[in-house]
Amino acid sequence: MVIKNSFSEQKIVEECLKNNRTYQKILYDKYKDGMYTVVFRIIRNESLSCDALQEGFIQVFLNLRSFEFKSTLGSWIKTIMIRNALKVLRKEIRFEELGDTEINIPFSWDENLTGEVLDKAISKLSPGYRFVFLLIEVEGYSHKEVAEMLNISVGTSKSQLSRAKAILQNSLKGIYA
């Protein structure tokens, strides 16, 4: 039996809820690579990222009944994966309370900056700075959403992002100076 990978999200969810293993594999295959990238950006460890990905998909399948189609299935899965990745590293996160004011540092990228160089610089950030930077600048979450996910204040989220940008800019300045 050949199954095309072009079924609607509705069909995939319906069949997964019936414990149809073929559709569970379709869901997993459709999202695993993108979700691994999301998880790895946060965890920065291949083995832990694989574990977090598998645990995340277990959570997806256990909670699929709660998916209400208010967002895309991919967005819903990504939220679960991010929360799971953060749970894996919860003990490492150190947030520096800098108050509720956002530090506005002008931020610019060198036109020769490559994704590989930026990724290396981001990976060197402390976990607190890295998580906030990735969640806001890469994944597109708001400060309020990040604050809720990480159990920090909105002000802390803003200050962590500003500090992360300042650190990145300083570390990249040395590369392109």
Please report the pLDDT score of residue 47 as a whole number: 86
44: domain CATH number?
Answer: 1.10.1740.10
Q: Is 47 inside any structural domain?
A: yes
The encoded tokens of residue 107 equal 């931020």
**Residue 102 placed within a domain:** no
Domain that includes residue 43, residue range: 9-91
Measured in whole angstroms, the distance separating CA 22 from the mean position of its chain's CA atoms is 27
CA angle centred on 119, ends 133 and 111, rounded to 5°: 95
Residue-wise pLDDT tens for the chain (177 aa)? Answer: 444 457 899 999 999 999 999 999 999 999 999 999 999 988 888 988 999 999 999 999 999 999 999 999 999 999 999 988 888 876 555 555 544 444 455 555 556 667 787 788 888 888 888 889 988 988 888 999 988 888 889 999 999 999 999 888 888 876 654
Whether 82 and 123 map to the same domain: the answer is no
Q: Report the alpha-carbon distance of residue 40 to residue 52 in Å, rounded.
A: 9
Residues 132 and 170 in one domain: yes
User: CATH number for the domain including 145?
Assistant: 1.10.10.10
User: With contact defined as beta carbons under 8 Å apart, do 149 and 82 qualify?
Assistant: yes
* CB neighbourhood size of 6 (10 A): 7
Its pTM stands at: 0.63
Half-sphere exposure of residue 16: CA atoms within 13 angstroms, side-chain side: 24
**Domain contains 134:** yes
Do 85 and 120 lie in a common domain?
Answer: no
Q: Are residues 86 and 124 in the same domain?
A: no
| Same domain (yes/no): 81, 131 | no
- Residue type (1 letter), 114: T
Residue 35's Cα: distance from chain center in Å? Answer: 8
Element (H, E) at 34: helix 21-43
pLDDT of residue 114: 73
One domain for residues 119 and 87? no
Looking at the fold, whether 86 and 133 belong to one and the same domain comes out as no
Helix axes 73-88, 21-43, angle to 10 degrees: 50
Number of structural domains (the chain) is 2
